[in-house]
Amino acid sequence: MTLRKLMEENIAAIAGRQICLYEKSVSYLTELCDRYDVLHAISFIVDTNERNKGCFTFRGRVLEVRDIIDIRQAFQDRAVIVITSDYYREAFQKITAIMDESAWTLDADIYYFVNRETEYEEHYRRIYEKRPLENLIIFRSGPHAGSYVKGMDFADNARALFEYALAEGLNHSYELVWFVKDPAEFDRYSAVENVRFLSFDWSVSEKQGERDAYYRALCLARYLFFTDAYGFARNCRKDQIRVQLWHGCGFKTRVNFVRCEQRYEYTTVISDLYADIHADIYGLRPDQVLVTGYAKEDWLFHPDEADRQKLRIPPAKKYLFWLPTFRSTEQKLAQLNEYELESETGLPVVSTREKMRWLNTILREQDILLLIKLHPFQNRETVHCEDCSNILLLENEDLFQYDIPVNRLLGWADALISDYSSAAVDYMLLDRPIAFMLEDVEEYEQSRGFVFDNIRDWLPGREIFTFEDVCAFVEETAGQCDIMADKRRRLREKMHKYQDDQSCQRILESLGIAKVEQ
Q: Are residues 169 and 277 in the same domain?
A: yes
**Are the C-beta atoms of 147 and 110 separated by less than 8 Å?**
no
Query: Could you tell me the strand order of the sheet in which 462-464 lies?
Result: 391-394, 368-373, 318-322, 415-418, 434-437, 462-464
Q: Are residues 137 and 232 in the same domain?
A: yes
114-124 CB burial, b ≥16 within 10 A, e <16: bbebbebbeeb
Query: 3-class SS at 477?
Result: helix
Q: Are residues 345 and 479 in the same domain?
A: yes
Instruction: Tell whether 491 is covered by a domain.
Output: yes
Cα(386)–Cα(393) distance, integer angstroms: 10
Q: Are residues 346 and 483 in the same domain?
A: yes
Write the CA distances from 506 to 166, 295, 435, 500, 510, integer angstroms. Answer: 15, 9, 30, 11, 6
Cα(186)–Cα(176) distance, integer angstroms: 13
The domain that contains 288 carries what CATH number? 3.40.50.11820
Q: What count of Cα atoms within 13 Å lies in the side-chain half-sphere of residue 396?
A: 15
What contacts 260, CB < 8 A, 6 or more positions away?
A: 230, 244, 267, 282, 283, 284
Q: What is the pLDDT of residue 409?
A: 94
When divided into structural domains, the chain yields a total of: 3
Instruction: Tell whether 511 is covered by a domain.
Output: no
Cα(300)–Cα(311) distance, integer angstroms: 18
The domain that contains 20 carries what CATH number? 3.40.50.720
Instruction: Tell whether 517 is covered by a domain.
Output: no
Instruction: Tell whether 232 is covered by a domain.
Output: yes
Q: Are residues 235 and 335 in the same domain?
A: no
Which of 254, 270, 298 is the endpoint of a domain?
298
What contacts 362, CB < 8 A, 6 or more positions away?
A: 471, 474, 475
The per-residue DSSP string of 285-311 comes to -GGGEEES--GGGGGGG---HHHHHHT
Q: Are residues 279 and 416 in the same domain?
A: no
The per-residue DSSP string of 342-367 comes to --SSSSSSS-SHHHHHHHHHHHHHHT
Query: Could you tell me the strand order of the sheet in which 54-58 lies?
Result: 2-5, 109-112, 80-83, 19-22, 42-47, 61-67, 54-58
Cα(356)–Cα(349) distance, integer angstroms: 10
Q: Are residues 164 and 292 in the same domain?
A: yes
The domain that contains 446 carries what CATH number? 3.40.50.12580
Which of 97, 114, 131 is the endpoint of a domain?
114
Per-residue pLDDT of the chain (518 residues; tens, 9 = 90+): 789 999 998 898 888 899 999 999 999 999 999 999 999 999 999 998 888 999 999 999 999 999 988 888 888 888 899 999 999 999 999 888 887 776 555 567 799 999 999 999 999 999 999 999 999 999 999 988 878 888 899 999 999 999 999 999 999 999 999 999 999 999 999 999 999 999 999 999 999 999 999 999 999 999 999 999 999 999 999 999 999 999 999 998 877 778 999 999 999 999 999 999 999 999 999 999 999 999 999 999 999 999 999 999 999 999 999 998 755 434 443 444 444 556 788 888 998 999 999 999 999 999 999 999 987 767 777 788 888 999 999 988 899 899 999 999 999 999 999 988 899 999 999 999 999 999 888 888 887 789 999 999 999 999 999 999 999 999 999 998 899 999 999 999 999 999 999 999 999 999 999 765 54
Strands 221-228 and 241-244 come out as parallel
Q: Are residues 466 and 402 in the same domain?
A: yes
Cα(282)–Cα(254) distance, integer angstroms: 8
Which of 243, 265, 298 is the endpoint of a domain?
298
Q: Are residues 156 and 179 in the same domain?
A: yes
Q: What is the pLDDT of residue 254?
A: 77
Instruction: Tell whether 507 is covered by a domain.
Output: no
Q: Are residues 352 and 383 in the same domain?
A: yes
Cα(114)–Cα(4) distance, integer angstroms: 11
| Residue-range definition of the domain harbouring residue 170 | 119-298
Terminal alpha carbon distance of the chain: 54
Q: Are residues 135 and 14 in the same domain?
A: no
Instruction: Tell whether 65 is covered by a domain.
Output: yes
Q: What is the pLDDT of residue 419?
A: 87
User: How many other C-beta atoms lie within 10 A of the C-beta of residue 253?
Assistant: 16
Instruction: Tell whether 235 is covered by a domain.
Output: yes
Instruction: Tell whether 94 is covered by a domain.
Output: yes
Q: Are residues 165 and 217 in the same domain?
A: yes
Q: Which residues are registered as beta bridge partners of 241?
A: 223
Strands 80-83 and 54-58 come out as unpaired
